[in-house]
């Protein structure tokens, strides 16, 4: 059983991203799902790795020209 703790979505060009923070008996995790024309792919990041994930994204943003 999974409990949804927080959910949000983001539209970027033709892609729709779903961000779902959930919890189950094994702990909390973030599921990021990408929907492109009905095709969905997802990645799951355990809560223990969220800060590291954020740090990598921050580095990417710092290097991005936009």
Residues 31, 46: contact at Cβ < 8 Å?
Answer: no
Residue-wise pLDDT for 20-36, tens only, equals 999 999 999 999 999 99
Count other Cβ atoms within 10 Å, centred on residue 17. Answer: 13
Q: How many angstroms separate the CA atoms of 39 and 29, rounded?
A: 22
Helix H, strand E, coil C: the string for the chain is CCEEEEEEEEEECCEEEEEEEEEECCEEEEEEEEEECCEEEEEEEEHHHHHHHHHHHHHHHHHCCC
**Number of domains composing the chain:** 1
What CATH number has the domain bearing residue 25? 3.10.450.700
pTM over 0.85: yes
Given this model, what pLDDT does residue 25 score?
95
Residue-wise pLDDT for 11-21, tens only, equals 999 999 999 99
Give me the domain span that covers residue 56: 3-63
């Amino acid at each position: 059983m999974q409990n949804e703790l927080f959910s949000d979505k983001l539209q970027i060009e033709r892609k729709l991203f779903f961000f779902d923070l959930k919890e189950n008996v094994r702990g909390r995790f973030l599921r990021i799902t990408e929907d492109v024309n009905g095709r969905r792919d997802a990645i799951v990041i355990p809560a223990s790795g969220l800060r590291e994930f954020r740090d990598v994204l921050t580095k990417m943003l710092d290097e991005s020209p936009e």
